A = this chain, B = another copy of it.
């Protein structure tokens, strides 16, 4: 039973996790990103977290919930990291602020280097109504809107087009830096920022 602890996938607030719950989500996040979602079993997650499968299911109810929580938390952390590197809007050169997105990506990418967690997750989930797809789409939309804002801030002619294009460059750079085996793709993308926004 344990109805009170069977966590639903709440997308509005960080679910209140117990100590073991935190360890489980931490372990799952590392493993999912490093090895892929389907490649990681719940037994391994529990073992790596120094706890048991029983506790895992008491905390999360299913592996799918754990996956959705992993993606959601990763999105939040990436967005917070990005905000901290970007500084406040209106601070300094707008083009330079846009370039800092790629600096942040490069830094973030250095630890792990398995590419975009959301693109990777999308490759592994089947149906389009999977709860994970919701999180993936939301993250991509957030990035899209960020680039639109930056394009407007930089007073690019046709900021909608420039912002969208910059987003495509961003996604492409992340793919090429990992699956494409071209580590300097991010640097090349950053070098193109001024041109795209100009």
Contact = CB atoms under 8 A, between A and B. Distances in A.
Interface of A: 35-36, 38-39, 115-116, 118-124, 126, 133, 136-137, 140-141, 144, 161, 164-165, 167-173, 175-176, 178-182, 185, 188-189, 191-192
B38 A36 contact: yes
A105 B61 CA distance: 41
Given A144-B176, A168-B172, 7 more contacts: A124-B124, A140-B181, A164-B185, A167-B172, A168-B188, A168-B189, A169-B172
Contact of A179 (B39, B136, B173): B136
Contacts of A173: 168, 172
A119 B123 contact: yes
A169 B169 contact: yes
A49 to B, nearest CB: 21
A105 B27 CA distance: 38
A35 B130 CA distance: 13
15 contacts: A35-B126, A36-B38, A36-B123, A36-B124, A38-B38, A116-B175, A119-B119, A121-B123, A137-B179, A140-B176, A161-B192, A168-B176, A168-B185, A168-B192, A169-B169
B38 A124 contact: yes
A143 to B, nearest CB: 9
A165 to B, nearest CB: 5
Contact of A169 (B126, B144, B165, B181): B165
